[in-house]
Amino acid sequence: MHAIRLHAFGPAENLTYEQVEDPRPGPGQVRVAVRAAGVHLLDTALREGAQGPAPEPTPLPTIPGREVAGVVESLGEGVADLWLGKRVVAHLGFVLGVPPGSSSTGGGYAELAVTEAERLHEIPQNLDFAEAVAMIGTGRTTMGILQFAELGPDSVAVVPAAAGGIGTLLVQYAKHAGATVIGLAGGPEKVARVQAGGADLAVDYKDPAWPAKVRAHLGGRAATVVFDGVGGDVAREAVALLGPGGKHVVFGWSAEGIHDGEPYLVDGVSEQVLGPVMLGKAGGPDPVRTLELRALAEAAAGRLTPAVQRFPLREAAAAHRALENRGTIGKVVLEP
Question: Under the rule (CB under 6 A), what is the footprint of ligand NAP?
Answer: 40-42, 137-138, 141, 161, 163-167, 185-186, 190, 229-230, 251-255, 258, 274, 326, 328
* Cβ closest to ligand NAP, residue 105 vs residue 141: 141
* Cβ closest to ligand NAP, residue 127 vs residue 234: 234
* Cβ closest to ligand NAP, residue 33 vs residue 288: 288
Closest CA to 294 of 129, 169, 196: 169
Alpha helices in the chain (DSSP H): 41-47, 129-134, 140-146, 165-176, 188-196, 210-218, 232-239, 276-282, 287-300, 316-324
Q: Which amino acid is at 117?
A: A
* Cβ closest to ligand NAP, residue 30 vs residue 39: 39
Closest contact distance (angstroms) between CB of 44 and ligand NAP is 9
Is 300 in contact with 134 (CB distance < 8 Å)?
A: no
Closest contact distance (angstroms) between CB of 252 and ligand NAP is 2
Q: Please give the Cα distance from 77 to 238 (Å, whole number).
A: 53
* Cβ closest to ligand NAP, residue 29 vs residue 141: 141
CA atoms within 13 Å, Cβ hemisphere of 96:
29
SS3 241: coil
Closest contact distance (angstroms) between CB of 222 and ligand NAP is 23
* Cβ closest to ligand NAP, residue 29 vs residue 58: 58
Closest contact distance (angstroms) between CB of 172 and ligand NAP is 13
Q: What does DSSP say about strands 121-122 and 156-159: parallel, antiparallel, or unpaired?
A: unpaired
Closest contact distance (angstroms) between CB of 19 and ligand NAP is 30
How many of the other CB atoms lie within 10 Å of CB of 171?
A: 29
Closest contact distance (angstroms) between CB of 334 and ligand NAP is 15
Residues 6+ apart with CB under 8 A from 80: 117
Cα 47 to its chain centre, rounded Å, is 17
Helix, strand, coil percentages for the chain (3-state, nearest 5):
30, 25, 40
* Cβ closest to ligand NAP, residue 38 vs residue 107: 38
Closest contact distance (angstroms) between CB of 9 and ligand NAP is 19
Write the burial class of residue 122 (CB in 10 Å: 0-12 exposed, 13-18 middle, 19+ buried): middle
Q: Please give the Cα distance from 216 to 138 (Å, whole number).
A: 32
* Cβ closest to ligand NAP, residue 29 vs residue 328: 328
* Residue whose beta carbon is closest to ligand NAP: 164
Q: Please give the Cα distance from 4 to 96 (Å, whole number).
A: 12
Closest contact distance (angstroms) between CB of 145 and ligand NAP is 9
